[in-house]
């Protein structure tokens, strides 16, 4: 059975390691940075 969550996290990990064939992923939202820019979402740091 396919496990979509581990597949997603594996691809996100490759992106964070700099794999050139995978688009950049935001570690905060676990979403492609391209999508976050398109919908104008930015992480907010809480201190």
Task: With respect to residue 31, please indicate whether it lies within any of the assigned structural domains.
Answer: yes
Task: With respect to residue 22, please indicate whether it lies within any of the assigned structural domains.
Answer: yes
Task: With respect to residue 16, please indicate whether it lies within any of the assigned structural domains.
Answer: yes
Task: With respect to residue 10, please indicate whether it lies within any of the assigned structural domains.
Answer: yes
Q: Write the CA distances from 6 to 28, 32, 37, integer angstroms.
A: 17, 16, 25
pTM: 0.69
Task: With respect to residue 21, please indicate whether it lies within any of the assigned structural domains.
Answer: yes
pLDDT tens, per residue, the chain with 47 residues: 778 888 888 999 999 999 999 999 998 898 999 999 999 998 888 88
Which domain does 20 fall in, by range? 4-38
Task: With respect to residue 30, please indicate whether it lies within any of the assigned structural domains.
Answer: yes
Q: What pLDDT shows up at residue 24?
A: 93
The domain tally of the chain equals: 1
Beta-strand (E) ranges in the chain? Answer: 25-26, 31-32
Q: What pLDDT shows up at residue 27?
A: 86
């Amino acid at each position: 059975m396919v496990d979509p969550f581990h597949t997603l996290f594996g691809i996100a990990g490759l992106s964070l390691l700099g794999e050139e064939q995978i688009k950049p992923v935001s570690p905060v939202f676990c979403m492609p940075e391209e999508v976050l820019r398109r919908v104008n979402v930015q992480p907010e740091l809480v201190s």
